[in-house]
Amino acid sequence: MVFTHIVVRYGEIFLKGKNRNVFENQLLKNIKEITGLRKISNLRCRYVFPYVDNHADLRKVFGLVSYSNCVRVDKKLDLIKKAASDLLKDKIGSFRVEVKRADKTFPGNSPEIAMEIGQHIESTTKATFTYGSPEITLGVEINLDGAYLFLEKVPCRGGLPTGVEGKVILIVENKASILAGILFMKRGTSLIVAVTEDQDLSLLEKYNPSSLAVKRITNLSELEVLGKEEKINVLVSGQTFETYKEYSSEMIIFRPLISFSKERIEKEIAELSS
């Protein structure tokens, strides 16, 4: 099947009320920076853009909850049914149709539309409809500009768009520090990365939508000076309960991994690296 478009979904931003446009604009900017995509349409908690081969890069964008590679057709039921049969023509097994009708002017309600599409699939393919746990789920989203059909929702990282919640200083001392920084990026902050020696920052760079700001310091006592220079009073550390130590700093210090085990840190870093 040749996909034509990608539908991208976001979550928490929907709850941001009057500030929602700020979050949406930052999310769009981050998508463009990380994936190189430019032609993007905004359709009610979704972004839609033409299909690209590097769609997996969307999983690096914090703020997105999922995406689907889709086939787009005009909003005509006959065209939707044909596209549905084409998607399932080589499939064998049980299926279910889930319809989301954002365009309320489209005739029929979602269950009625799903039933018609399902009956057409059963009569034209070897797939069999089920109410239970299907092997195949066909999603159909009918938006204002067309109908989008897909067979998979690829999970993304969620969170908030990096860059909407100000800056923090991340002191990178080990791999755990990298995870601590990523967790803060996922909550919308931008990072100033402080290092006393060479560190592998490739994982931070992978999820950072712009060039990573790295500051070399000779010892930890310079963190206070760096904070004043950057006008930042928040320091993020990758310390756990086992590696806890005090910093001689007047900055507010966050240790997001304080209750993490070594095994959990390794597992989450491995998952983020995949």
Does 236 fall in a domain? yes
Q: Both 83 and 151 in a single domain?
A: yes
Tokens 């009569």 label which residue?
123
pLDDT band at 13 (very low <50, low <70, confident <90, very high): low
pLDDT band at 22 (very low <50, low <70, confident <90, very high): confident
| Domain CATH number, residue 229 | 3.40.50.620
- The closest alpha carbon to 254, from 238, 232, 231, belongs to 238
Q: So what's the pLDDT on residue 46?
A: 82
Q: What is the domain extent for residue 93?
A: 5-155
Q: 263 or 40: whose pLDDT is higher?
A: 263
User: Which of 31-40, 52-61, 80-89, 156-165 has the lowest average pLDDT?
Assistant: 31-40
Q: Which of 155, 181, 201 is the last residue of a domain?
A: 155
Q: So what's the pLDDT on residue 15?
A: 59
pLDDT band at 44 (very low <50, low <70, confident <90, very high): low
Does 162 fall in a domain? no
pLDDT in tens, 161-206: 999 999 999 999 999 999 999 999 999 999 999 999 999 999 999 9
Report the percent of the chain where pLDDT is more than 90.
78
Provide Rg for the chain, Cα atoms. 23
Q: So what's the pLDDT on residue 266?
A: 96
- 203 SS3 class: helix
Q: So what's the pLDDT on residue 173?
A: 92
Token pair, residue 184, equals 């803060």
Q: So what's the pLDDT on residue 209?
A: 93
Q: 274 or 121: whose pLDDT is higher?
A: 121
Predicted structure pTM score: 0.89
Tokens 């520090």 label which residue?
177
Rounded to whole angstroms, the Cα distance separating 154 from 137 reads 13
Rounded to whole angstroms, the Cα distance separating 130 from 139 reads 15
Buried b (16+ CB within 10 A) or exposed e, 7-34: bbbbeebeeeeeeeeebbebbbebbbbb
pLDDT band at 159 (very low <50, low <70, confident <90, very high): very high
Looking at the 3D structure of the chain, how many domains does it have? 2
Would you say residue 14 has pLDDT above 60?
A: no
pLDDT in tens, 204-260: 999 999 899 999 999 888 999 999 999 999 999 999 999 998 887 889 999 999 999
Q: Both 150 and 195 in a single domain?
A: no
Q: Both 125 and 24 in a single domain?
A: yes
Would you say residue 16 has pLDDT above 70?
A: no
Arithmetic mean of pLDDT over the chain? 92
Tokens 């690829």 label which residue?
154
Q: Which of 105, 135, 155 is the last residue of a domain?
A: 155
CB atoms within 10 A of CB 77: 16
Rounded to whole angstroms, the Cα distance separating 87 from 116 reads 16
Q: Which of 87, 122, 155 is the last residue of a domain?
A: 155
Q: Both 32 and 142 in a single domain?
A: yes
Does 227 fall in a domain? yes
Would you say residue 37 has pLDDT above 90?
A: no
Q: So what's the pLDDT on residue 36?
A: 85
Does 147 fall in a domain? yes
